[in-house]
Amino acid sequence: MLLKFSLIIMFDVTGLGNCCVDLIGIVNQLPKENTKKDITSFKQFVGSPVVNALLTLSHLGCKTSIISSVGNDHYGQFIKQTFIKNNINIQNLREDSSESSVHFVVIAKKTQSRTIFKKKNHLKVLAEFSPFHKFTIQNSKILVLDRNVDNEQIKAINWAKKHKVKVAYDPSDKYNSFTLKMIQLADIFIAPLGFINHLKNKSNPEHALKELWMLNKKIVVLTLGPKGSMATDGKSIVYEPRINQVRVVDTNGAGDVYYGAFVYGVLKNWNLKKKLTFANKIAALKCSILGNDFKKLNLKKYR
């Protein structure tokens, strides 16, 4: 089976992280308690940082795969079918007896503020690091991860490093012993502005960027929300403002899409400024649609 797999598969990017279903509802403004509000739009999408990054990369023409777990419920089936429709390989997508992760997201149209209700589950992304996982990772160019790193995932990361596969990591707002280890291991470290609250330089993004680079010594990126993004490779600090030429519909997942678009720039060996400009543009385009239905955007024309 492994031999047959090896003859046909080579990936640009493999994602290792959580999967969930986002149930997204848009209201004009968030309601007070014990009141009712009409939902102007309501749709179901797959979600999570790694999933949104892979969807972005797939629609940019990359060969992608996912290492993760889903429940054996209708949400799990929806996730699997969405991956298949979007050309994300699911050979390493494990089906578990637990329920799939579901998020109910309420977006206020006027302010773009979000309220997220999470349904907890007991799914383990990587129950055991298998020969199949090893083969997939070593035949990928980049391994992308979300914030939920544990000991099994560290094995996968070390395997990637051993086989000269680049590792990209987005900690979101999480900081623990694994986060510190990942800052040092990652070839591409991308964090939101709020992450600097865990650092010594809490009030100065540029100084925080330098602080992170001293731990990482490769590529460090800070996304700045409405102010764009900034990055350093140790040679220079590059800042790129946000692209404002879109009508904002839904900002949920924009940072994840930025993550995927920046990784695309790494695959193309672009300079740092071009990577930032491209990632800002693709993230802005995502904000113009509800959810992550990238077929509406035809991302390939922006490559």
Residue ranges making up the domain that contains 143: 2-20+47-100+124-302
Which residues make beta-bridge pairs with 27? 108
Residue 10 located in a structural domain: yes
CA end-to-end distance (rounded Å), the chain: 35
Instruction: Give tens-digit pLDDT for 17-59.
Output: 999 999 998 888 888 888 888 888 889 999 999 999 999 999 9
Can you tell me which residue has the tokens 């149209």?
Answer: 109
Q: Going by C-beta distance under 8 Å and a sequence separation of 6 or more, which residues neighbour residue 258?
A: 190, 223, 229, 279, 280, 282, 283
Residue 31 located in a structural domain: no
For residue 225, the SS3 value is: helix
**Between β-strands 20-27 and 102-108, what pairing exists: parallel, antiparallel or unpaired?**
parallel
CATH number of 197's domain: 3.40.1190.20
Strands (E) in 35-87, as ranges, are 41-47, 64-71
Instruction: Give tens-digit pLDDT for 195-251.
Output: 999 999 999 999 999 999 999 999 999 999 888 999 999 999 999 998 777 888 888
* Helices 131-138 & 151-162 angle (0-180, nearest 10): 40
Burial label for 241, CB within 10 Å (0-12, 13-18, 19+), is: middle
Instruction: Give tens-digit pLDDT for 58-96.
Output: 999 999 999 999 999 999 999 999 999 999 999 999 998
Handedness of CA 66, 72, 74, 77 (dihedral sign): positive
Residue 151 located in a structural domain: yes
Residue 29 located in a structural domain: no
Residue 34 located in a structural domain: no
pLDDT at 4 over 70: no
- State pTM to two decimals: 0.92
Residue 16 located in a structural domain: yes
Residue 231 located in a structural domain: yes
Q: Which tokens is 212 given?
A: 């992170």
Which residues make beta-bridge pairs with 102? 21, 119
Instruction: Tell me phi and psi for residue 18, to 5 degrees.
Output: -70, 150
Residue 107 located in a structural domain: no
Instruction: Give tens-digit pLDDT for 99-118.
Output: 999 999 898 887 878 888 88
Counted domains in the chain:
1
Instruction: Give tens-digit pLDDT for 136-152.
Output: 999 999 999 999 899 99
Distance CA 22, CA 79 (A): 10
